[in-house]
Amino acid sequence: MRRWAFFVGGFLVFIGIVSLVEAIWKIDLGKFFWPLLLILVGIWILVRPPIPHWLGWDSRFVNETNRSGKWYARDETINGFIGETNLDFTQTILPDGETHYKMNGFVGDIKVKTNDLVGVKIRSRCFVSDINIFGEESTGVMAPADGQTKNYDLAAKKVTLDVSYFVCDVKVVQA
């Protein structure tokens, strides 16, 4: 089943049940719908229930993605709704040339740790974004915000982050 079909189908079943309860017991559930929905979403975010992998998200509604230590970097897409992503490239086994990461979500914090051997470039296409690369800040509101480390053009190993969020904070720190 496609992800959109699951959500649309679930929403239609929910609206149908609400309408049926209103018709049978003459209860106006419209008064209770939005406060109840906000409470349930808040509880869901706090408890972080698992979401099946076949939905295409990083296994949780609120995700935390950590890549640190010795790991093999490759082109990758990281999806999430609300979350924090930590990428540590200090001990990473990176191929020569560019490695691309696409990061998509609603609200997120991205922290990148690098050294002099790895060049990092950020392309942010967020509604609101704040990029901090070694203390130099670039902010975008309804406009792209880009930045790169000073060694990016000369580095043999490069990482490019394409960030698409509604609100995002990207921070690149030196190891």
Mean pLDDT over all residues of the chain? 81
Query: Same domain for 119 and 146?
Result: yes
Query: Same domain for 41 and 15?
Result: yes
Query: Same domain for 11 and 43?
Result: yes
Q: With 90 as the cut, is the pLDDT of residue 2 above it?
A: no
Domain count across the chain: 2
Tens digits of residue pLDDT in 31-89: 777 777 777 777 766 765 555 544 444 444 456 677 888 888 899 998 887 888 899 99
Query: Same domain for 28 and 92?
Result: no
The answer to whether the CB of 134 falls within 8 A of the CB of 103 is no
Residue 123 lies in a domain: yes
Residue 54 lies in a domain: no
pTM of the full predicted structure?
Answer: 0.64
Query: Same domain for 39 and 73?
Result: no
The answer to whether the CB of 101 falls within 8 A of the CB of 87 is yes
Q: What confidence score (pLDDT) does residue 175 get? A: 80
Query: Same domain for 36 and 72?
Result: no
**Residue-range definition of the domain harbouring residue 155:** 63-174
Residue 109 lies in a domain: yes
Q: What confidence score (pLDDT) does residue 103 get? A: 92
Confidence label for 3 from pLDDT (cuts 50, 70 and 90): low
